Chains A and B, each alone.
Chain A
């Protein structure tokens, strides 16, 4: 058994730094490269792509990332674990193989493909069998939006990834796995942690939570002493050096920018946190109030003390459904009395929309530069040098939202004075794909692991 296993994060979401995976395999020794591509609504975007072309539906950035790390995988034995498969992990594996073939690689890639998370074709059967897939926030049954559902995926835990690694895979592609399982599974595989090694499993989950957002734990988006964080242009992405007992060090490669400190790690630990006593995953419930952090040299933080307890018998399901249309238009008003002019424009626009009777579900106006993000807490901003009126509408009818987009430009000539910043043209109408979190019994989700040589 290895004494230390190094898992490096190379991608925090689909759209993250394209070059980070390569820098992670070349910047120093690592055993695993972990790539997280899936945010809550990413699956629905991928589902739409798959509807247009059955060979798509995965995170295409992954193919370029794989190309850039191929020598490390083939010559140095670095393994890759990624949830890049989206709603089509098999097609993703085929694309990786094709890319490798094109670059002259004959063998050596053993791709593990994890499926079973996709519940889209089983929704009616599940509802019929007494699984309401009720919204975790509102309690409404899924049947209320059934005809508008685009995708439905259960969040899988570490087990199928461990299985794929056990079968000898050096690249594991999953669909909707929990972000944290992508880090925990390699540790569980290497150290042989059992399904009831609660404390170690929880430690693996905490390691995953810390690095799943990439550089957000190594100096990116860090408020603490932000001016002193060096060389963000060359920010080092994080990696964990884990031991069999569940303790681990978070660090980054030498000669990179950013910072790993108790403060940067603490900020990431509290990010998107609910009840810290119960961080629920399919494998284990981690208790964040047991985490101990200690400085372990420059850009090194030792994490220890983590306790876990048995999980629930449910899996979280992420459903995406069509929820109408929206558009946001903006205009900029300049000093003097910038805020007051923007406020008058807002009133004029609302009166005109009212007269058109377009039937929106929601209208929201904000005054960027005055109080858009901090509301009344921002205090008196009547002297602001410029204020952007940001005006959004949402409704079920595309035509109504389209009609709204024609009401912004006229204000330039027939509204309050000192207005500019309309060069972008008419606002764009967007279809809204909304997120419906639900739970389902673990027993109804069957995972499958295929190995493609």
Chain B
């Protein structure tokens, strides 16, 4: 089943120099395992391919039902050097929530995941 992250997670993003961070938080604690399993470092790097210049790092925070992604080279130089509207990476959060993942049907049913519209 196809699941869109915006239906199972919320997020906030910010900056550190030319790196944007995106914290993705499961809307329900039991959905954290879906984030952990399917929203991988490679999947996120692929999602933002062509939009960021550097690598992606992923950190897990099971205590907060959250993942933290660092998107390096995402801010056109960052800070005051950047010419971007989103120079501080404030809305990379919802850009990540556009991602659609493929969850096996049995698992999606077990966790009552909403299907992507």
Which residues of B are found within 8 Å of A268, using beta-carbon distances? 12
CB within 8 Å for A266 and B64 given contacts A223-B10, A271-B14, A272-B15 = yes
Binds A, one of B35-43, B84-92, B109-117: B84-92
Q: Which of A292, A372, A434 contacts B86 (CB 8 A)?
A: A372
Which residues of A are found within 8 Å of B63, using beta-carbon distances? 289-292, 305
Interface residues of A in 34-51 (CB under 8 A from B): 40-41
Interface residues of B in 72-90 (CB under 8 A from A): 76-81, 83-86
Taking the complex as formed, is A373 at the interface, i.e. its CB lies under 8 A from any CB of chain B? yes
Taking the complex as formed, is A336 at the interface, i.e. its CB lies under 8 A from any CB of chain B? no
Interface of B, helix, strand, loop or mixed by DSSP? mixed
Which residues of B are found within 8 Å of A375, using beta-carbon distances? 50-51, 95
Cβ A372 vs Cβ B61 within 8 A: no
Which residues of A are found within 8 Å of B10, using beta-carbon distances? 223-224, 263, 267
Which residues of A are found within 8 Å of B62, using beta-carbon distances? 289
Taking the complex as formed, is A364 at the interface, i.e. its CB lies under 8 A from any CB of chain B? yes
Cβ A266 vs Cβ B94 within 8 A: no
A89 to chain B, nearest CB (A): 24
Mask of A261-299 contacts with B, CB within 8 angstroms, 1/0: 001001111111111110000000000111111000000
Closest to A272 in B: B14
Bound-complex Cα distance A136 to B78 (A): 14
Cβ A377 vs Cβ B95 within 8 A: yes
Interface residues of B in 42-65 (CB under 8 A from A): 47, 50-51, 59-65
B109 to chain A, nearest CB (A): 25
Cβ B66 vs Cβ A270 within 8 A: yes
Identify which of A40, A292, A293, A373 gathers the most chain B CB atoms within 10 Å of its CB: A373
Closest to B81 in A: A434
Interface of A, helix, strand, loop or mixed by DSSP? mixed
Bound-complex Cα distance A204 to B25 (A): 23
Q: Which of A271, A275, A392 contacts B59 (CB 8 A)?
A: A275
Which residues of B are found within 8 Å of A292, using beta-carbon distances? 63
Closest to A137 in B: B17
Cβ B85 vs Cβ A373 within 8 A: yes
A375 to chain B, nearest CB (A): 5
Which residues of B are found within 8 Å of A41, using beta-carbon distances? 79-80
Cβ A432 vs Cβ B81 within 8 A: yes
Closest to A388 in B: B85
Closest to B13 in A: A271
B49 to chain A, nearest CB (A): 9
Which residues of A are found within 8 Å of B77, using beta-carbon distances? 362
For chain A, the bracket of interface size reads 35 or more
Cβ B59 vs Cβ A394 within 8 A: no
Cβ A266 vs Cβ B79 within 8 A: no
Cβ A366 vs Cβ B21 within 8 A: no
Interface size on B, residues (CB 8 A): 41
Identify which of A266, A268, A328, A376 gathers the most chain B CB atoms within 10 Å of its CB: A266
Taking the complex as formed, is B16 at the interface, i.e. its CB lies under 8 A from any CB of chain A? yes
Bound-complex Cα distance A364 to B91 (A): 18
Mask of B1-43 contacts with A, CB within 8 angstroms, 1/0: 0000000001111111110010101010000000000000000
Cβ A433 vs Cβ B94 within 8 A: no
Bound-complex Cα distance A364 to B76 (A): 9
Identify which of A270, A305, A432 gathers the most chain B CB atoms within 10 Å of its CB: A270
Bound-complex Cα distance A288 to B77 (A): 28
Closest to A265 in B: B64
Closest to B21 in A: A273
Which residues of A are found within 8 Å of B64, using beta-carbon distances? 266, 269-270, 288, 291, 293
Closest to B72 in A: A137
Bound-complex Cα distance A269 to B10 (A): 13
Taking the complex as formed, is B70 at the interface, i.e. its CB lies under 8 A from any CB of chain A? yes
Taking the complex as formed, is A23 at the interface, i.e. its CB lies under 8 A from any CB of chain B? no
Bound-complex Cα distance A269 to B63 (A): 12
CB within 8 Å for A270 and B95 given contacts A276-B59, A390-B85, A435-B79 = no
CB within 8 Å for A270 and B61 given contacts A223-B93, A374-B91 = yes
B-to-A contact residues, CB < 8 Å? 10-18, 21, 23, 25, 27, 47, 50-51, 59-66, 68, 70, 76-81, 83-86, 91, 93-95, 98
Nearest 8 CB-CB pairings of A with B: A270-B23, A392-B83, A272-B14, A364-B83, A267-B12, A224-B10, A374-B95, A375-B51
Beyond A263-B25, A266-B25, 9 additional contacts (C-beta under 8 Å) are A223-B93, A224-B10, A266-B23, A267-B11, A272-B21, A277-B59, A289-B61, A292-B63, A435-B80
